[in-house]
């Protein structure tokens, strides 16, 4: 996306850009650190972070409380006990060129300029691409292990870490401090990753994306035996809290780790010049593909611990260390065909099917082509990409795994283009249901949207599955036990075609049991074929029972009267997220009223003559509502759903005695008795306004475990801070 140069931004534009970047980077942090499922490359992420920092440096008075430059990682995931790190686990500054490294060295030499005879040494070691972990040893015994989390609070994964053979349960040798937190990286080798993929495929399990995400997911298993089966590895390279330094230098400390029973990188060296460091960087880069595990750069650190302490830290980063990132690996292959996939909102997403090629230790066979403009060689602003060269079936292309995760086409080798290759014709009808696929006009730019969408909505089978998955998802109706796997099974079995069918599943119990049993039977056969062992005393499909079926039906019945905002969000209307759904629920109070207004808008020449003016609701949302409720093909589906589900009217519980009515409330930290969205909805129903950051306008801060810098801001401003239990008591919900 074309961005306005930082030096050209006005103060107002800078404030808006910092707001956008804070939200976008926070979401990417969550996907990477908490969900282990990044959606952009490291380079793209770093570009966002650099732009944020550049704006902050130019406009220091605009630095936000939730600025990405003030945090590390993401909040710990729910489901594990929290561990507060005695010494924060910080991130590293990034270098992308040799000059960046030279600048790092020069900064150090300038800092220690008065020490004329000082001989500064540095260490250089591979940057392992895995999940950071901290291991606490007391009197040589491993007592607790945690993830990085947000750098201050991580997740307690002690039981899972104990299954890793590279992590000693008791330190070997002697000379270790009374207490020390050894830090390092948990990772998965390529060989183990491929073996896991094959085992999973044999039983119809999930398809794992890459070793880093798989290692991270393996560490977050509730059952340690699952973690043990993944054969994870660990390299030690640093330490946190300790009662004594392992050695006077970084290099010698890491060698001590080796004596104590840890695996350390054999590629770690000590050097004194920029030339030595860069030379070692290129040696590691050359060996990268043969190491058998993922690395994404080389880390340089000042070797002498006393100099590390003197040079100190900046926000979230040590000054004495830097990560020199590798450029993305590339490979050449051919485009065998282009397929169109249809998403939940009807987006036609083109995917290039490639002749398989290995990039960064992973076999790549598919790559997204984003939209029809991208295929033609242009970005969303009409600017040329790939030198304006389009992608055709039969083309030879250069691909790379951006950030070693997401494959992308870098260029087309035009000299190798077949003589019979023709420009790709993007379909104007949905390949699944045959409905027209159109490109809407973006209200902000006046230009066509870059994506083409199917207009079939609820009659489109491709959209139906994705809509059903969304309908039962956590932020929507949150039906326990009805995840993506069961939705796919019930849809393909003909048991669930629309959301209304979910609520009649109990009436078709025998068919549901049969579908579940047949899947279990199929998976058992695959396991049998994979293991070569024959099962004995196999019961018939009809005799097989499905444990928890009654629990599933009960979970479905428990959602027959959902909160109105959840129901609106569950409908999957374009541009209607959780926040907008809550605004609509508050405004219209009942689903019947929202439908009435939506249908009246569809008939009116000017929708604004019908739709009330609502703060935060613009033409994009208004048009989406008009299109959805004005589409007659949705009527029968929606009527059938409302015959089964009765959303609760949205009632604002404001009373004369309400202590929070009219107040601005901020929730921070991890809430333990309710989700963040539930807390927000509860506060809004009581007449409070919920804000995302603390300011002079904030009246109350509700802080859970892991609350960070917002507490300091609240303290500085003299704002009242309470815990979750006190909040519940104050609003009359306490025990």
- Residues designated catalytic: 127
| Placement of tokens 């393996």 in the chain | 218
Q: How far apart are the first and last CA of the chain?
A: 51
To the nearest 10°, report the CA torsion of 279, 283, 285, 288.
-160
The sheet that has 321-325: what strands, in order across it?
93-95, 321-325, 295-302, 122-128, 269-271
Q: Are 325 and 393 in contact (CB under 8 A)?
A: no
Task: Write the DSSP string, 535-589.
Answer: P-SPPPTTT---TTHHHHHHHHHTTSS-BHHHHHHHTT-TT--HHHHHHHHHHH-
Q: Can you tell me whether residue 610 is helix, strand or coil? A: coil
Query: d(Cα 182, Cα 187) in Å, to the nearest integer?
Result: 16
Exposure string over 661-673, b if 16+ CB within 10 A, otherwise e: eebbbbbbbbbee
Residue 253: name the closest of 452, 735, 240 by CA. Answer: 240
- Give the Cα-Cα-Cα angle 123, 190, 34 (nearest 5 degrees): 75
Max Cα distance, the chain (Å): 85
Q: In angstroms, how far is CA 159 from the centroid of its own chain? A: 24
Q: Are 135 and 161 in contact (CB under 8 A)?
A: yes
Task: Write the DSSP string, 366-426.
Answer: EEE--SHHHHHTB-TTS-BSGGG----TT-EEEEEEETTTEEEEEEE-GGG--TT------
**Which 3-state string (H, E, C) describes 257-312?**
HHHCCCCCCCCCEEECCHHHHHHHHHHHHHHHHHCCCCEEEEEEEECEHHHHHHHC
Phi, psi (deg, nearest 5) at residue 295 = -130, 155
Query: d(Cα 184, Cα 36) in Å, to the nearest integer?
Result: 18
Cβ-based neighbour number of residue 576 at 10 Å: 20
Q: Give the DSSP H or E segment for 333.
A: strand 330-342
Question: What is the Cα Rg of the chain in Å?
Answer: 28
Q: Give the DSSP H or E segment for 453.
A: strand 453-454
Query: d(Cα 520, Cα 486) in Å, to the nearest integer?
Result: 12
Residue 167: name the closest of 134, 196, 194 by CA. Answer: 134
Q: Give the DSSP H or E segment for 122.
A: strand 122-128
Task: Write the DSSP string, 133-168.
Answer: EEEEEETTEEEEEEE-TTSSEEEB-HHHHTT-TTS-
Residues in the chain: 735
Q: Are 400 and 359 in contact (CB under 8 A)?
A: yes
Name the token pair of 672: 């333990």
Q: Which residues contact 711 (CB under 8 A, 6 or more apart)?
A: 668, 701, 703, 721
Query: d(Cα 676, Cα 703) in Å, to the nearest integer?
Result: 12
Query: d(Cα 235, Cα 292) in Å, to the nearest integer?
Result: 14
Q: Are 305 and 249 in contact (CB under 8 A)?
A: yes
């Amino acid at each position: 996306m074309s961005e306005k140069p930082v030096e050209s931004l006005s103060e107002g534009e800078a404030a808006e850009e910092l707001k956008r970047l804070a939200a976008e980077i926070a979401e990417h942090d969550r996907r990477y650190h908490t969900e282990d499922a990044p959606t952009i490359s490291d380079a793209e992420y770093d570009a966002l972070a650099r732009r944020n920092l550049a704006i902050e440096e130019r406009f220091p008075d605009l630095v936000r409380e939730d600025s990405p430059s003030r945090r590390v990682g993401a909040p710990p995931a729910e489901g594990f006990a929290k561990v507060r790190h005695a010494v924060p686990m910080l991130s590293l500054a990034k270098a992308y060129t040799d000059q960046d490294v030279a600048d790092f060295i020069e900064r150090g030499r300038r800092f220690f300029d008065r020490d004329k005879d000082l001989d500064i040494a540095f260490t250089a070691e591979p940057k392992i691409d895995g999940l950071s972990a901290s291991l606490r040893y007391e009197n040589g015994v491993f007592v607790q292990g945690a993830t990085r989390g947000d750098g201050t609070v991580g997740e307690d994964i002690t039981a899972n870490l104990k299954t890793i053979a590279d992590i000693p349960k008791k330190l070997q040798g002697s000379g270790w401090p009374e207490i020390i937190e050894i830090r390092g990286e948990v990772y998965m080798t390529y060989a183990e990753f491929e073996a896991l993929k094959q085992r999973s495929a044999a039983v119809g399990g999930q398809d794992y994306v890459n070793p880093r995400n798989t290692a991270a997911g393996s560490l977050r298993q509730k059952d340690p035996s699952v973690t043990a089966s993944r054969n994870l590895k660990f390299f030690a390279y640093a330490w946190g809290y300790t009662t004594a330094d392992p050695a006077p230098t970084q290099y010698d400390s890491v060698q001590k780790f080796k004596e104590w029973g840890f695996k350390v990188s054999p590629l770690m060296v000590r050097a004194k010049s920029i030339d030595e460091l860069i030379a070692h960087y290129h040696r590691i880069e050359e060996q990268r593909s043969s190491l058998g595990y993922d690395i994404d750069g080389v880390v340089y650190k000042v070797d002498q611990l006393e100099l590390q302490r003197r040079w100190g830290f900046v926000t979230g980063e040590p000054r004495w260390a830097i990560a020199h990132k590798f450029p993305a690996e590339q490979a050449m292959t051919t485009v065998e065909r282009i397929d169109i996939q249809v998403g939940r909102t009807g987006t036609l997403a083109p995917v290039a099917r490639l002749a398989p090629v290995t990039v960064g230790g992973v076999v790549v066979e598919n790559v997204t082509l984003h939209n029809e403009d991208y295929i033609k060689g242009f970005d969303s602003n009409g600017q040329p990409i790939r030198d304006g060269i389009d992608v055709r079936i039969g083309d030879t292309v250069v691909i790379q795994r951006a950030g070693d995760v997401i494959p992308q086409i870098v260029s087309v080798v035009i000299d190798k283009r077949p003589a019979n290759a023709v420009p790709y014709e993007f379909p104007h009808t949905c390949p699944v249901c045959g409905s027209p696929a159109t490109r809407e006009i973006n209200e902000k730019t006046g230009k066509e949207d870059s994506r083409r969408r199917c207009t079939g909505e609820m009659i489109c089978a491709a959209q139906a599955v994705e809509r059903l998955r969304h309908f039962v998802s956590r932020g929507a109706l949150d039906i326990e036990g009805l995840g993506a796997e069961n939705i796919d099974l019930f849809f393909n079995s003909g048991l669930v075609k629309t959301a209304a069918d979910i609520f009649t599943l109990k009436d078709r119990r025998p068919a549901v049991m049969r579908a579940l049993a047949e899947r279990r039977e199929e998976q058992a056969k695959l396991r049998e074929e994979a293991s070569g062992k024959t099962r004995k005393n196999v019961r018939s499909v009809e005799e097989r029972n499905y444990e928890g079926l009654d629990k599933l039906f009960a979970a479905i019945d428990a959602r027959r009267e959902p909160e109105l905002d959840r129901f609106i969000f569950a409908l999957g209307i374009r541009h209607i997220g959780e926040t907008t759904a809550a605004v609509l629920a508050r405004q219209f109070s009942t689903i019947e009223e929202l439908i009435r207004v939506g249908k009246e808008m569809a008939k009116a020449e000017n929708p604004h003559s019908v739709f009330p003016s609502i703060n935060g609701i613009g033409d994009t949302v208004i048009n989406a509502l008009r299109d959805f409720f004005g589409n007659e093909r949705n009527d029968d589906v929606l009527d059938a759903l409302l015959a089964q589900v009765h959303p609760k009217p949205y009632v604002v519980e404001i009373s004369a005695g309400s202590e929070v009515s009219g107040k601005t409330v901020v929730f921070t930290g991890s809430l333990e008795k309710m989700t963040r969205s539930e807390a927000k909805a509860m506060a809004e129903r009581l007449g409070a306004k919920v804000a995302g950051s603390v300011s002079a306008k904030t009246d109350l801060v509700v802080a859970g475990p892991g609350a960070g810098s917002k507490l300091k801001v609240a303290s500085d401003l003299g704002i009242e801070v309470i815990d979750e239990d006190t909040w519940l008591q104050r609003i009359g919900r306490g025990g």
